[in-house]
Amino acid sequence: MNWKRIRSCLLGAAAAAGLLGAAASMAPAQAKTYKIYLSLSYSGNAWQSEAANIVKALAATPPYDKMVDLKEVISGTDVQAQISAYESMIAAGADGIISFPVSPTGLNRTIHRGCAKGVLFFMYDATVTEPCAYNVSYITAGFGENTAQALVNELGGKGKIFLSRGVPGNSVDKRHTEGAMYIFKKYPGIHIVDEYYGMWSDQTTQEETAKALAAHPDVDGIWAQAGEDGAIKALLATGRQKLIPVTGENSNGFRLALANPEYQKRGLQGVSSGSPPATAGYAFKLMMEMLVDHRKLPTHNIQYPLPWVPASAVKLCPGDRFENGCNTFPEGKVPDSFVTEVFEPTLVPEISLQSALEGKPTPGATIQKLPATVDAAPDTPGINCQHCKPPKDLYRLTKVQPTVQP
């Protein structure tokens, strides 16, 4: 399959759709309000509440503030609970449901029924395999393989490493780890000496990393999913002088550590990548453009660009936005666990730090139109499609190239 050709095809289709959309939006403003439901699996970690806050802030930003009737439902990590939440939303006559789904397959039947009743389903970050739903996610963008290659490069192709994984059995953890293993397996000099589940929580990751460090103090690097700030804290808590390369996701604490000159001198290197809460805002705006402007999307699986911030690119923001290429907040402005990727200048320029932390609209901001094109996500079985074949180059490196050969 030719990636470029698909991309240019989509580009054309999307451009046409965009024109149609623009024409539609010129129609006189209608007084219709849209019933939108925000269905969360659980609240309680920084990522989930930031993502939800972004949706809430956008729904309160003009002109959507007058058009959207947004209701939030938190149903917990139980599939059954989210199914019944969806059922009630469909019964209540929802125009659209924007959701973080707890299971890629368990919700399919309910979603299918909702689609048949004309409900739009937009999933952010986590995905479902039901074809009528729209998935907006970075998951297929290659977090695992790219960070693994970055770590291998830092280690010069050999060394003992830990895998700090997410939640056991979760499809996202599986996709990330498979991508990473695709790279690590190429290098016989890379030895995985411990593999543990940090549950995407800083605190659990810190405790698990501390245990692993007690058994393997001679580890050379850590490949981590979300929770990486805990891995850093566990490393620092050992009191060791020599630090090691760590790759992880987007917590502010991790980025601050990467940029810390003293830690760098002691050997901390790495890259911050992974799941951006801004995806929720992008998904919400796409859904609203479909509802309001009758925008047509050329695909149901939309890929969100993978954030990629190596240690050398960490730049502190003086204000409340990502401006002039800054991507991290100074210490004390936000908690270490704050997930920095809440801004995206082209997709969600309406968002400020205030929106992400409190769900309030940015004063003076109005909703800006999205670009006319979307990136199609590659078919990934169990992630965004049920009976499909992944492209041969699923684990193609996009952010980093090997600097060492196996």
Partner 1 sequence: MNPSEVKERLDAARTIPPAAEDASGRAPDPRGARQAGLHGDLWTAIALFSLTAVLILASRWISPSFGGLAQAKAILVLSSFIAVTAFGQQMVILTGGLDLSIASVMTMGGVLTFGWIGASGPALIWGIPLVLVLTAAIGALNGIGVVLLRVPPFIMTLAMGIIVYGAALGFTGGTPRGQPSPALSALFTGHVLGVPPVILLIAVFAALGTLLQLGTAFGRRLYAVGTNPAAAYIAGLPVRRLTLLAYAISGGSSGLAGILMVGYAGGATLTMGQGYQLPSIAAAVVGGTSILGGSGLYLGAVGGALLLTTFSTIISALGIAEGWRTILYGAVILLALLLLRDELYAWIGRAVTRPILPPDASARRNA
CA distance 382 to 253: 32
CB of 326 to partner 1, least distance (A): 21
Minimal distance, residue 76 CB to partner 1, in Å = 12
381 CB neighbour count, 10 Å cutoff: 14
State the nearest-atom distance from the C-beta of 169 to partner 1, in Å: 9
Which residues are at the interface with partner 1 (CB under 8 A)? Answer: 43-46, 48-50, 52-53, 168, 193-197, 201-204, 206-208, 210-218, 230, 233, 236-239, 253, 332, 334-338, 357-359
Residues constituting the chain: 406
Answer left, alpha or beta for residue 324, where phi above 0 means left and psi between -120 and 50 means alpha: left
Task: Compare residues 79 and 192 and give the one whose CB is closer to partner 1.
Answer: 192
Q: In what order do the strands lie in the sheet with 301-303?
A: 68-74, 34-40, 96-99, 120-124, 134-137, 301-303
Looking at the Cβ atoms of 128 and 232, the one nearer to partner 1 is 232
Positive or negative: CA dihedral 81, 83, 89, 95: positive
Cβ closest to partner 1, residue 145 vs residue 194: 194
For the bound state, the minimum distance from the C-beta of residue 82 to partner 1, rounded and expressed in Å, comes to: 17
Shortest spacing between CB 160 and partner 1, in angstroms: 11
Cβ neighbours of 203 (radius 10 Å): 14
Which residue, 341, 192, 362, is CA-closest to 273? 341
* Alpha carbon of residue 204 to chain centroid: 20
For the bound state, the minimum distance from the C-beta of residue 77 to partner 1, rounded and expressed in Å, comes to 11
Q: How far is the CB of 74 from partner 1 (least distance, A)?
A: 9
Q: Dihedral (C-alpha) 170, 95, 350, 125: value to the nearest 10 degrees?
A: 10
Q: Nearest 5°: CA angle at 335, between 74 and 319?
A: 110
Specify the residue, 95 or 173, whose C-beta has the smaller distance to partner 1.
173
SS3 73: strand
Nearest CA to 94 out of 109, 73, 108 is that of 73
DSSP class of residue 244?
-
Distances (CA, A) of 136 to 113, 126, 381: 20, 8, 16
**Which CB, 109 or 240, lies closer to partner 1?**
240
Q: Measured from the CB atom, is 83 or 213 closer to partner 1?
A: 213
CB of 352 to partner 1, least distance (A): 15
Task: Give the residue with the Cβ less far from partner 1, 40 or 128.
Answer: 40
189 vs 330, beta carbon nearer partner 1: 330
